[in-house]
Amino acid sequence: MVRYVAQRVGQSILAIFLTVSTVFVLVRLAPGDPAAAYASPLATTAELDRIRAQFGLDKPLIQQYGIFVQDLFHGNLGTSFSFQAPALDVVLSRMPYTIMLAVSAILFAAVVAIPAGVWMARHADTARELGANVAMIAGQSMPEFWSGIMLLTIFAVLVPVLPASGFTSWAGLVLPTVTVGILQIALISRLVRREMGAGFAAPYLTIARARGISERGLTWRYALGNSAVPLVTALGTRFAAMLNGVVVVEVVFAWPGVGSLVVRALETRDYPLIQATVLVTAILTVLVQLLIDLTYPLLDPRVRLGKAVAS
């Protein structure tokens, strides 16, 4: 187990390092000039050169990369151009908002999607299930920015009961959560429905039923219990993806998280900030994925007993 974790962590560190390096090169190859974004539009060529030198952008790419890697090992991610503050601090001041939105959205999705999926599985192949299925597909088919704008129009403009933007009270969490949740509910409930469908057909359930276990117990303990691994995997993967920034939804609701920060950092060609964001979110993503892997033995006795998990 320890060896497995160590191996995973090693692989992850390598993957993160490669990702950050790729981003390092990509941002510098992209057109656009951080100095021009930083200075006033009226700055002269000489001034821009001076700013570039100040940012260390006048050095050859290889040398810049060397400095970057060296600083990275000292835990220094550089100074954000546009915020004039340590890039890591800026990212960490925004991260809580993204984490909060991701947690809230995944909880909301799980609370709605699991019962919905179970309900669909129990009413498999009925008109009701078809109806629910179509509704879920519709949820999965809406562009997030559109459903966000629609919700905003309805609940902040037509019937102004909820705040439209930012986070100044818990009520501000509602619309972004629902917007992110719609898609997740659709995906997760359909997954639950599929897995439960398979579970209901399994022989062990017939035996359990023969032993006189109630339908309710069958549904929740046996069939759903058997779907725990794929369900947790799906929830975890979706959660990890959200930590990368729920970019579109954050932009729609002016949510002060890392997603909207990234868009801004790109607009100002704030290289250190882009790199810091990628690094922090990649580490979090990998951690979450590792945690998911570590929960498998708890959820599935077969893994505990040393047998492979059916993927």
Candidates 42-50, 68-76, 106-114, 298-306; binding stretch for other proteins (CB under 8 A): 42-50
224 binding other proteins? (CB under 8 A): no
Q: How many residues belong to the site for other proteins (CB under 8 A)?
A: 124
**Among 295, 56, 247, CA closest to 143:** 247
26 near other proteins (CB under 8 A): yes
The dihedrals phi and psi of 195, each to the nearest 5 degrees, come to -65, -40
Select the residue interacting with other proteins from 104, 177, 179, 244 (CB under 8 A). Answer: 244
Check residue 254 for interaction with other proteins (CB under 8 A). Answer: yes
Residue 239 interacts with other proteins (CB under 8 A): yes or no:
no
* Whole-number Å distance between alpha carbons of 72 and 91: 15
Of residues 192 through 221, those in contact with other proteins by CB under 8 A are: 194, 196-198, 200-202, 206, 209, 215, 219
Stretch 156-195 residues interacting with other proteins (CB under 8 A): 156-157, 160-172, 194
Count the alpha carbons within 13 Å of 186 in the hemisphere toward its beta carbon: 18
Using CB under 8 A as the binding rule, whether residue 303 contacts other proteins is answered as no
Give me the 121-160 binding string for other proteins, x by CB under 8 A, dash otherwise.
Answer: xx-xxx--xx--xx--xx-xxxxxxx--xx-xx--xx--x
Looking at beta carbons only, is 2 or 44 nearer to other proteins?
A: 44
Token readout for 150 is: 């629609």
The DSSP result for 173-228, as a single string, is GHHHHHHHHHHHHHHHHHHHHHHHHHHHHSHHHHHHHHTT--HHHIIIIIIHHHTH
Q: Judged by CB under 8 A, does residue 262 bind other proteins?
A: yes
Is residue 117 a contact partner of residue 192, using CB atoms and an 8 Å limit? yes
